[in-house]
Amino acid sequence: MEEYKKITKEDVNLPKFCLFFIEHLKHEIDDTDFDEYEELEVTIDTTEFPYCYEAFNLIVKTFSRMGFYVRIPTFITSRDNGVKTWTYKWIISKGPDDLPF
Is the confidence at residue 34, as pLDDT, over 90?
Answer: no
| Segment holding 94, helix H or strand E | strand 83-94
Is the confidence at residue 73, as pLDDT, over 90?
Answer: yes
What one-character-per-residue DSSP string does 44-85 give? EEESS----HHHHHHHHHHHHHTTEEEPPPEEEEEEETTEEE
Is the confidence at residue 13, as pLDDT, over 80?
Answer: yes
**Domain range summary for the chain, segments of one domain joined by +:** 14-94
| Mean pLDDT value across the chain | 89
Cα separation, 85 vs 73, in Å, equals 15
Is the confidence at residue 7, as pLDDT, over 60?
Answer: yes
